Amino acid sequence: MNNEMQNSAGALKLPNNVGTMHRINSNTWKMAFIFAFVSLVIDGVDIMLLSFSLTSLKAEFGLSSFQAGMLGSASLAGMALGGISGGWACDKFGRVKTIAWSVVFFSVMTCILGMTQSYEQFLILRFVGAFGLGSLYMACNTLMAEYVPTKYRTTVLGTLQTGQTVGYIVATLLAGSIIPDHGWRMLFYVTIVPAAFALIFMRFVPEPASWQEAKIEQIKRRELNLEPVLQMAVAEKAPSESIYKRIFGHSNHRKMFLLWMSTAAFLQFGYYGVNNWMPTYLETELGMNFKAMTGYMVGAYTAMILGKILSGYAADKLGRRVTFVFGTVATAAFLPVIIFYNTPANIAYLLVTFGFLYGIPYGVNATYMAESFSTDVRGTAIGGAYNMGRLGAAIAPATIGMIAAGGSFTMAFIVMGAAYFIAGVIPGLFIRERQYDPQQAAVAAEQQKLAKLDTHTSDESKAISKPATAK
């Protein structure tokens, strides 16, 4: 199949990342994994820098808890819009290109945050820079879903999710060593380093074969002017050029898009609410000093890595749905435990247990979503659903800050637990697993349509050319 596609591609004008399937071998997925993993490490670092800087930012700019929460909400709103456009970019320009340029963009923008002189400047720049962050999670997972065989896809993607958690640990260690001695600005300056990594590494990872095949087929139809014939012959059955029309014109894709958007909204409300406010809770409510707090967070994030890896393995053995639902419901149940039953003697154990449970849904989420959509719309569908959900979840940091400002974090953590519970109920009841194989391109279906069209056109030509029989 690849040879046929490459031969047909020879006469076409292709982008520089299309027609490179000859570079893909049995070990290419490992290089792609390293690229995606390190990119998610960078993503995790960038996400957590704001959380660890909140106390310093509140002091320097004189912020209320609500204003501090708005910084997190602005980040999520920017990530949502960036993720939606990033999903489109994944399908249009390629998974690898989208990852690389997203890293470059948010690394530069985060570095500039260290130069801001007011709350308003920081808020606006954080919102804009988060566009790159939003693209990355979806693009990395789509890339690997299309490289890794189905039988151990969730194990590999679950392991991939630990990249973001490793980033949390790196950010925690950086914050603990830099902020007390050099201030929060220096913490943001170091983020310029990853931009060079992304541009260099992009040259060593070809786009997945399924994406290249689908792209060549699209270019071939366009350059050989097959689309107009297709439209005349099969009229309303012709595939639309608009990916969103393809998604919402397909009943199953439409249903999955809306269900995953709702699930993502509740999941991320809980996830980013905890991410944004847990360090502040430990520092202010439990009275931990900054370095002690970072030590506890490292323990929680280390357990989160184990939770993501084991949940990926469990999802391949037991199923995506049951593992995802267990993780979300267990996390929902454990959040109030941290609030009501913590003591100086057990807080470390509670945080480690929570970290393990907290990691489970994200160890499964990527594969579960990727297998809900076909290759031709996957990037846009995942990016749209996940990030429209993120747009809904953008209210989480500000909402949690407002609730916490009204008294304590008790009600805030209960609200986050409720969000996690709903995020488990929706897929548990309505989202079937393994609906599509991410390694199967949409090309086969398109070729079948064209073959039927050729047959149909040939039959019509024969009928027209056959002389009429006199009555």
401 pLDDT above the threshold of 90: no
* Confidence grade of residue 237 (pLDDT, cut at 50, 70, 90): very low
CB atoms within 10 A of CB 337: 14
pLDDT band at residue 407 using 50, 70 and 90 as cut-offs = low
Per-residue model confidence (pLDDT) at position 230: 40
449 has pLDDT over 60: no
**Residue 199 CA, distance from chain mean position:** 20
Instruction: Look at residue 280 in the predicted model and tell me its pLDDT.
Output: 79
Tokens of residue 471, six digits: 């009555």
How many independent structural domains does the chain possess?
A: 1
Asked whether residue 25 is assigned to any structural domain, the reply reads yes
Helices (DSSP H) in 190-319: which residue ranges?
194-201, 209-223, 226-234, 243-248, 251-280, 290-318
Residue 108 maps to a domain: yes
Model confidence pLDDT, tens digit, residues 85-104 = 887 888 888 999 999 999 99
Cα 131 from Cα 256, distance rounded (Å): 24
Mean pLDDT of the chain: 83
Are residues 112 and 49 in contact, defined by beta-carbon separation less than 8 angstroms?
no
Cα 78 to Cα 256: distance, rounded to the nearest angstrom:
24
DSSP state of 470: P
pLDDT in tens, 298-318: 899 899 999 989 998 999 899
pLDDT tens per residue, range 331-379 = 999 999 998 999 888 999 999 999 999 899 988 988 899 899 988 788 7
Q: Tell whether 11 is covered by a domain.
A: no
Q: Which of 174, 167, 157, 101 is nearest to 134 (CA)?
A: 101
The pLDDT assigned to 240 comes to 43
Q: 13 lies in a domain?
A: no
Residue 65 pLDDT class (50, 70, 90 cuts): confident
Question: What band does 241 get if pLDDT is binned at 50, 70 and 90?
Answer: low
Angstrom distance (rounded) from CA 394 to CA 382: 18
pLDDT band at 461 (very low <50, low <70, confident <90, very high): very low
Interatomic CA distance for residues 70 and 75, integer angstroms:
8
Residue 381 and residue 406: Cα distance in Å, rounded? Answer: 38
Q: Is the pLDDT at 254 greater than 90, yes or no?
A: yes
Residue 288: left (phi > 0), alpha (psi -120 to 50), or beta?
A: beta
Q: Which of 17-21, 219-223, 313-317, 450-454 has the highest average model confidence (pLDDT)?
A: 313-317
Beta strand residue intervals within 303-461, DSSP E: none
- List, for residues 258-277, the tens digit of each pLDDT value: 999 999 999 999 988 888 78
Tokens describing residue 329: 């419901």
Q: What is the pLDDT of residues 146-159, one digit of tens each?
A: 888 777 787 888 78
What phi-psi label fits residue 436: left (phi over 0), alpha (psi between -120 and 50 degrees) or beta? beta
Whether residue 55 is predicted with pLDDT greater than 80 in this model: the reply is: yes
pLDDT at 108 over 90: yes
- Tell whether 309 is covered by a domain: yes
269 in a domain, yes or no?
Answer: yes
Q: Is 7 contained in some domain?
A: no
* Residue 234, pLDDT score: 37
What pLDDT is attached to residue 185? 93
* CA 427 and chain centroid, separation: 17
What's the domain range around 321?
19-435+443-462
Amino acid at 274: V
81 within 8 A of 135, measured Cβ to Cβ: no
Check whether 431 has a pLDDT greater than 80: yes
Q: How confident is the model at residue 441 (pLDDT cuts 50, 70, 90)?
A: low
Q: Is residue 193's pLDDT more than 70?
A: yes
CATH of the domain at 161: 1.20.1250.20
Tell me the C-alpha distance between 165 and 171, whole Å.
Answer: 10
Question: Residue 248 falls within a domain, yes or no?
Answer: yes
Enter the pTM of the model: 0.71
Name the more confident of 376 and 34. Answer: 34
In Å, what is the CA distance from 41 to each residue of 17, 35, 141, 201, 306? 24, 10, 13, 15, 16
Average pLDDT over residues 176-193: 90
